[in-house]
Amino acid sequence: MDKKLLIKILIIGIPTYTVAIVTKAMVFTMPMLAITTVIATNIFDDTKENENRVDEGDGPDGGDIADFEG
């Protein structure tokens, strides 16, 4: 398993499960999950992992079907 992936899993898992166990309420668990997901996805510089991709299809809207007559 990749070391970065394991760190991201721990960053998300530990606080989320701690909040769930301590509060016994899902209402606090979901915001914690969202916050830790943002932190975990931004902790490493994964520019290679998150490349922008452009669809260069031949359709008028960039899609692959040029002559689709709905």
- Render pLDDT for 25-67 as a digit per residue (tens, 0 to 9): 888 888 888 888 888 888 876 665 556 666 666 656 555 555 5
- Within a 10 A sphere around the Cβ of 16, how many other Cβ atoms? 20
pTM higher than 0.75 for the full model? no
Q: Where are the alpha helices (DSSP H) in 1-70?
A: 3-23, 26-42
| pLDDT: which is higher, 46 or 20 | 20
Does residue 18 surpass a pLDDT of 70? yes
Helices 26-42 and 3-23 cross at an angle (nearest 10°) of 160
